[in-house]
Structure 1
Amino acid sequence: MKNHKEKTLTDRIIETVVYRRTRIEKFFILLIVFSLFCLPMVEINYDLTEYLPVSTETKQGIDLMEREFGYPGTARVLIRDVSVYEAKIYKNRIEQIDGVDTVSWADTAGEIYVSNDFLEAQDLDDYYKDGYAVMDIQFVEGDSSLRTDAAIEKIRALVGDRGAYSGPALDSKMLKENLANEIGRVLIFSIVMILLILAATTTSWFEPLLFMLTMGVAILINMGSNIIFGRISFLSYCVAAVLQLAVAMDYSIFLLHTFTAEKARGLGTEEAMENALHLAVGSIVSSAITTVVGFVALALMQFTIGRDIGFVLAKGILCSLVTVLFLMPALIIRWHRFVERSQHRPLIPPLDGFAKGLFKVRHFFAAFCIILIVPAFVAQNMNHFVFGGAAVGAGEGTQLHADKAETDALFGEKNLVLAILPNSSSVTEKRLADELEDLPFVKSVTSLSSVLPDGIPESFLPSGLTTQLHTGQYARMLIFLSTPVETDFTFECLDTVRETVHRYYPQDTYIIGSTPAAQDIKSTITGDYTEVNLISMLGVALVILCSFRSITMTIVVMVPIEVAILFNMALPYVYGNNLIFLGYLMVSSMQLGATVDYSILLTNNYMNCRAAVSDKKAAAIRAISQSALSIMTSGIILTVCGYGLYYLTSITAAADLGRLIGRGAVFSMILVLTLLPMLLTIFDKAIFRDRAFFERLLRIGGRLPARDVADKNAGQRELVTTLQNRSGSADGSEESKEESK
């Protein structure tokens, strides 16, 4: 044992973890209680426009509209099997519901200054046809308000089975209802599947329970500690727990298997844990840092939902790291007898033959990548992206999606765009409204000047109507487009509307709505893509460079993951699927941060094997054998959790993120096990030359004494035994012969 003066800070921390473990357990119990207390107070935000930069027109316009007019929620209701006058009765009754501000229908203007005979005679195709009536509802409060939710329930109770409901307020309500039910279902599915996977890949029936308990504590602490942000986005809430569970599981597996290997050497429980922490802490911390770097890069996005998701996920990894390094040792020491008593024979045989087979087909996979890399790059750049709120709404198969499709089929799509204008001239406002109504893609325009008949003063109108359309300084104009919310054609139509409005009002005008928001999100997030990807790549590369001290090895380690990301992002174009650009950007960083550990593990094993085996091909095969089970366990867990999110949630954005993450894990797993070993053997000499050069530089700079190099190599060789125990492979006779060579 080292005396006190020779002990490093790491030594003292490890001693505290091992010998003061009861205090640590009590501290974590307090953290759990605190997290349970804070969890209900973490608000969830469903409005993507809140994450736009303040410099965008949409963000400025929304802030202005909230101050002047409020920011009401909207919905669209289709009523089946009604006459015109039954529809009018429904409209009047809906208007009386608490939380409903106005209901726009065919009689909205008529009941002010024309008779019902006019209503019967006018063209009603936009509002009523073949026994169907459609109405646009504006609520007093916003789309995600509890008062708006209550009003929607009352409308449903009033209209009953006759109704079909759609619109932003319904999307928001669906998100809130489904988050509570579906995310719990996804977590339960993920936990069950992970337990089954771990039961098959470990050698103790109790180990999976210990892993899940550790990760459960880490997830709970992360979710409760989100109170520091005040509120988080619904996307963070959707994916954080599942991704934390899938990505950070390796840390606990590595620590327990290192402890088991030390116990197998005949050491006492506490001494074995001390040694295990010394051996494992470097690898676990390095692995966590690469993942955190990938997530934190998202925080640099101008579209600040990246900061929201990046910080929540990075904090989740740090919570997992702290829980594994501080709490899990106490749990292992407390329950190690259960681990030992529940030991069983490995269910998966040694993977030596599998490793040799993979290495034999390495040229096939290399040729496959070379042939497809250019088409994949082209396909990736030809993806059709969606950007705005339409990208996160109800997916196919939901009632909300079916209701919207039915309404749009009967009455066409109705896309609301709002213009906030200076309240300077009713004449100018009327001329603008008339010109906009003449545009072929404009369904209707509502403004105070267009509602008010000539010669009638504004004071004659109900105050509820005037305050919705005019204040002392600003006027609001409702422009309904007969276009989808988000297509290239819609963006062209919006540009025409914007140009028309600016001709009449060159200054202090704002165009807002779902389509303007999508357009602003598109311009913001497209600019983020290159910057975020470059920073995440450079950040991860720097961590790898510091770990391996070889530029060549850093490039080799990252190539399989970058190729896997490229293939993953090319497939949506091949399948003809729309791709959420936010997911495209996030998953690129997530896949890099979460799966680069596979490359690091195999490369580390290869370097350790090369210290014992002079034949680089034999070292590569042995590295595959030692790494395959760990990589496949982690990759399969991430794949199952990703696809679980895809199949078990109706929230489009979360489902698409899940599919991208799950598919990306498959590509990363395959390419690390096939392409990386070949690259390591090809660049073997360059790697060792780089490492020797870096070590000479560090010795010259006094940072790395020669004896430390020897100590580090000895530690790496000691780690080989741990990794072999983790992978379940034992040295065969052929490997012994290769070592003797």
Structure 2
Amino acid sequence: MKNRIKIKPSDLVINFIVNRSKYIEIFFAVVVAISMFLYPFVKVNYDLTKYLPDTTASKAGLNLMEKEFGYPGTARIMIKNVSLYQAKLYKQEIESVDGVDTVFWADTTDDIKKYTDVYTSDTFIKAENIQDYYKDNCAVMDISFIAGDSDTRTSKALDKIQKIVGDKGSFTGPAVQNKSLNESLNREMKSATVIVVGVVASVLILTTTAWLEPLLFLLVMGIAIVINMGTNVFLGEISFMTASVAPVLQMAVAMDYSIFLMHAFSREKDEGKDPKEAIRIAIRQSASSVIACGMATIIGFLALTIMKFSIGYDLGIVLAKGIFISLLTVLFLMPSMIIRSQNMIQKTAHRKLIKLPKNLAKGIFKVKYVALGLAIFLAVPCFIAKDMNSFLFGNSAVGAGEGTQVYKDEQEIDGIFGRSNMLMVLIPDDSNIKEKQLSDELGKLSYVKKVTSLENTLPEGIPESIIPNQITTQFHSGKYARILVYIRTREESAAAFRYSDEIKGIVQKYYPQHSFLIGATPFTQDIKTIITRDYTFVDKLSLLGVVVVAVFAFRSMLLPILLVIPIEIAIFFNMAIPYFMGENMIFMGYIIVSCIQLAATVDYAILMTNYYLEYRMRLDRKQAIMETIWAAVPPIMNSGIILSFAGYTLYFTSSIAAIGAMGHLIGRGALLSIAMVVILLPALLYIFDSPIYRHISRRKQLKDKIKKKIAGKLQLGEVCPKTIDDDKSAKSLEGLKDEN
């Protein structure tokens, strides 16, 4: 009877990865093919209001208005160098475009009491009101579409309108912003992806020792990204921000894992082991670090899903899923690809093109106390300054930022006709008299440009029944009435928020219940309220999640605190710089990048801490720090530079303000995290060496006990129900001894 021995589950998994590589390759090939098929069906959303909770007043009002009136897309167009008569003809042609519902112009305002042509008689025209619609040979019109701002029908209608007016037209408004976002995203993300891949390949070429290795890393990450993007179809739709930044961040963050595995394999191969045995040991050695780093990153991203402003859920799920898929791809597929490409890797081997300065470790060690003291001293004012930034919250800041054509057109229109910010008042349709009184009171406000309602449009004594149904259904649904209020502000400003609150107060005076104020400004106010509350909670939760993962990874309470200190200081510095530079920040990017910087760069601190624990078991604390710096800095630099370049690529290539701002924060944050981890963490490990060493000693004693126990069982030849033959498990047993 053959002796039978117990095999650890981890060894069974490793044996499966190495011995069943063909099946794993086939599985991933099938999943990639399915993902490529599914990817075109992933819808992208450009409307931030969809992420507001239904409990907010503006979202509740929007849901009600969609039920009663629909929620049509809107745009504002200015036609230059036209006469009043030509403007009228343009208006008629635009109204005939498929997808256009109504065009509001001078001949449909409340000041012209009869529906007639503006050029027939001066009797029907008041010059001071025409100035709002026709001025300096320019006509401005408000367009209401049948479908929503992001609908393809609305986009096609805008294309036709642009052909009609040609170079004479300037366009702005939510529908135009969403169309611009869509076109910019599709155009810019292709170029950004090409640039990021080129940059990553360049960094890898400079830091690896074979020309084929960068291609292998990029192929592994490409497979993981394709699977992640295709499986997004199960979410229904994703936000434009998620669609733009997730692939780039996944590549930049998860590239570490494949580098860790390759380095571990190269070490074993250099010691003379055959490729299959080398990859077995490499998986065993790197899996703990890779999984610990991956789980810390996943937990950090999942913290975003708690946000009440659910774009965080959208981005958090996609990023966390991407990292999880990357972990599986690296641990299961990459070993097979490494074995398969071994001959080519050896043939394309070259010297390392970049080497660290000889005195790097010595220099960092010398300045450790000064650097730590200076960082802590600066961290306090930066912690205060980061919460004193000026923020932007709304859709207009995202889709119509400086540098976009929408922004240029908006400035041109506002320069001639002034700002026009449309708000919609939704009230119960229970009293024509109250509706008329409310409309008149709102119209008397100094900052109100015009008020359009059915009751203040109807000439006195004219019954509603004789008005065309196309007009009445715009304002009365039977249960509710709608009033359009145009104010002279931007969509997002202190004045706009103040006027919005004042209008709400007036509306509630007439209609204390079941009345709503809807529009870009009220939406932005609710976004501001929700996302500001989200920040403190999400920021603390992501930090707590990372610390908990580190506690389980290191079996220590002290080490997790030490390794997050440099990352948190780097975040303080990163978020305080805009305040000192006097820059406005898009708050959505601010809260998201806080989590991303922590989740993506905590890997650097985990890696350095692992190296220190390894070296400290056999070296004194100074020598252990020196060796740790030499071992940890190259992979940290590789990963950090890749992440930084990826962020700055988004910054320099994207005209979308939110994406560009996020890229800038990510790029700068990665560099700051590298600096803080490389300079501060060695100082902290050196200072707290005594409790760390005691922790190492206790763990070593525990491992020795386990080793003796396992050795004793092996000598006794214990039998396990789940067993394999000795002659078929020699290599597994050897791996088990190596591990212990």
Compute the TM-score of the two structures, normalised by the length of structure 2: 0.93
- The structural deviation recorded for 1:551 is 1.7
Where do residues 646-725 of structure 1 align in structure 2 (5 Å cutoff)?
646-690=651-695, 706-707=705-706
Q: Which runs of 5+ in 2 are unaligned?
A: 711-740
Partner residue, 1:638: 643
Aligned to 1:59: 59
**1:261: which partner in 2?**
267
Do the aligned residues in 1 keep the contact of 2:42 with 2:233 (CA within 8 Å)? yes
2:603 is aligned, of 562, 578, 597, to 597
Shift, 1:367, TM fit: 3.3
Q: Which residue of structure 2 lines up, in the alignment, with residue 153 of structure 1?
A: 159
* Distance in 2 of aligned mates of 1:660 and 1:190: 16
1:21, CA displacement in angstroms?
0.5
- Aligned match of 1:435: 441
Question: Aligned residue for 2:584?
Answer: 578
| Pair 535,86 (structure 1): closer, same or farther in 2 beyond 3 Å | same
Decide whether the 8 Å contact of 2:368 with 2:683 is kept in 1.
yes
Distance 2:396 2:689 in 1: 50
The Cα shift of 1:549 comes to 2.1
Shift, 1:512, TM fit: 1.1
Q: State the distance in 1 between where 2:549 and 2:680 align.
A: 22
Report the counterpart of residue 385 of structure 1 in structure 2. 391
Question: Hey, what does 1:6 align to over in structure 2?
Answer: 6
Report the alpha carbon displacement of residue 111 of structure 1 after superposing the two structures with TM: 7.7
1:116–1:12 CA distance, 2 compared to 1 (3 A):
farther
Counterparts of 2:696 and 2:280, CA distance in 1: 30
- Match 2:287 to one of 281, 286, 295: 281
What letter corresponds to residue 493 of structure 1 in structure 2? Y
Matched, 1:422 2:428: yes
Deviation at 1:284, TM superposition (A): 0.7
8 Å CA contact 1:548–1:691 kept in 2: the answer is no
CA contact (8 A) 1:102 1:139 kept: yes
- Structure 2 match to 1:540: 546
Note the 1:329-728 alignment, pairs <5 A.
Answer: 329-614=335-620, 616-690=621-695, 706-707=705-706
The answer as to whether partners of 2:177 and 2:396 remain within 8 angstroms in 1 is: no
1:353-410 CA distance string (max 9 Å, x none): 2121222222332233133222212211110111111221133222221111111111
For 2:588, give the aligned amino acid: L
1:250 corresponds to which letter in structure 2? D
SS in 2 for 1:347: coil
Q: Measure the CA separation in 1 of the matches of 2:390 and 2:422.
A: 23
Q: Is the 8 A contact 1:351 1:628 kept in 2?
A: no
In the alignment, what sits opposite 2:720? none
Q: Which amino acid aligns with 2:521?
A: T
Give, in angstroms, the shift of residue 554 of structure 1: 1.3
Determine if the alignment matches structure 1 residue 197 to structure 2 residue 196: no
Retained in 2: the 8 A contact 1:352–1:625? no
SS in 2 for 1:112: coil
CA distance in 1, matches of 2:632, 2:473: 68
2:150 & 2:569 partners in 1: Cα distance?
A: 41
Distance (whole Å) between structure 2 residues aligned to residue 183 and residue 618 of structure 1: 46
Confirm whether residue 37 of structure 1 aligns to residue 37 of structure 2: yes
1:495 is displaced (CA, Å) by: 0.6
Change (3 A) 1:460 1:544: same
How far did residue 487 of structure 1 move? 1.4
C-alpha distance after superposition, 1:127-164 (max 9, x if no partner) = 11111111111111101111111110111111000111
The 3 A distance-change label for structure 1 pair 398 and 252 is: same
Amino acid aligned to 2:206:
A
CA distance in 1 between counterparts of 2:33 and 2:447 reads 57
User: 2:484 aligns to what SS in structure 1?
Assistant: strand
- SS of residue matched to 1:310: helix
> Which of 172, 180, 201 is equivalent to 1:174?
180
Q: Say whether 1:20 aligns with 2:25.
A: no
SS of 1:600 mapped into structure 2:
helix
Identity of aligned residues (%): 48
Moved more, 661-670 or 341-350: 341-350
- Contact 2:113 2:459 (C-alpha < 8 Å) held by counterparts: no
Match of 2:170, SS?
A: strand
> Is the partner of 2:29 in helix, strand or coil?
helix
| Shift in alpha-carbon separation, 1:326–1:116, aligned structure 2, 3 A | farther
Helix, strand or coil at the partner of 1:579:
strand
State the match for 1:302 in structure 2. 308
* Distance apart, 1:119 and its partner CA: 4.8
* Kept after mapping to 2: 8 A contact 1:441/1:482: yes
Higher relative contact order (CA 8 A, sep 6+): 2
Against the structure 1 CA distance between its residues 268 and 405, is the aligned structure 2 distance closer, same or farther, given a 3 Å change threshold? same
- 352-361 vs 183-192, which deviates more? 352-361
Distance 2:277 2:694 in 1: 38
Which range moves more in the overlay, 638-647 or 581-590? 581-590
- Alpha-carbon distance between aligned partners in 1 of 2:158 and 2:641, rounded to the nearest angstrom: 42
> C-alpha separation between the residues in 2 aligned to 1:209 and 1:478?
58
Q: CA deviation at 1:22?
A: 0.5
Whether contact under 8 Å (1:552, 1:690) holds in the other structure is no
Residues 615-638 of structure 1: CA deviation (Å, up to 9, x unaligned): x22221221111111111101000
Deviation of 1:693 after TM superposition, in Å, equals: 6.8
Please give the per-residue CA displacement for 1:3-25, whole angstroms capped at 9, x wherever unaligned. 87421221111111111101111
Work out the CA distance in 2 between the residues paired with 1:423 and 1:88: 33
Q: What does residue 112 of structure 1 align with?
A: 114
Residue 715 of structure 1 corresponds to none
Question: 1: CA distance between counterparts of 2:704 and 2:54?
Answer: 53
State the alpha-carbon separation in 1 of the partners of residues 336 and 531 from structure 2: 45
State whether residues 352 and 622 of structure 1, in contact with CA within 8 Å, keep that contact through their aligned partners in structure 2: no
1:344 aligns to what SS in structure 2? Answer: coil
Between the aligned partners of 2:438 and 2:704, the Cα distance in structure 1 is 78
Cα 1:461–1:332 shift into 2, 3 Å: same
User: CA–CA distance in 2 between the matches of 1:43 and 1:652?
Assistant: 21
Which residues of structure 1 form unaligned runs of 5+? Answer: 712-741
**Aligned mates of 1:437, 1:654 — CA distance in 2:** 39
TM-score by length of 1: 0.92
How many residues align? The count is 703
Q: 1:317 to 1:276 in 2, by over 3 A?
A: same
- Please point out which of 190, 195, 201 is paired with 1:184: 190
| 1:324 corresponding residue in structure 2 | 330
Instruction: Give the letter aligned to residue 353 of structure 1.
Output: N
State how far apart, in whole Å, the 2-side matches of 1:572 and 1:116 are: 56
Helix, strand or coil for the counterpart of 1:7? coil
| Shift in alpha-carbon separation, 1:695–1:475, aligned structure 2, 3 A | farther
Structure 2 CA distance for aligned equivalents of residues 643 and 669 of structure 1 = 16
Q: What do you get for the CA RMSD once the two structures are aligned?
A: 1.8
Report the counterpart of residue 724 of structure 1 in structure 2. none
* 1: CA distance, partners of 2:134 / 2:115: 21
Q: Whole-Å Cα distance in 2 between the matches of residues 561 and 4 of structure 1?
A: 49
How much does 1:80 deviate? Answer: 0.8
CA contact (8 A) 1:94 1:103 kept: yes
Instruction: Report if the CA contact (8 A) 2:652-2:660 is conserved.
Output: yes
Shift of 1:573: 1.0
Q: In structure 2, do the counterparts of structure 1 residues 692 and 515 end up closer, same or farther at CA, with 3 Å as the change threshold?
A: farther
TM superposition shift of 1:116:
3.8
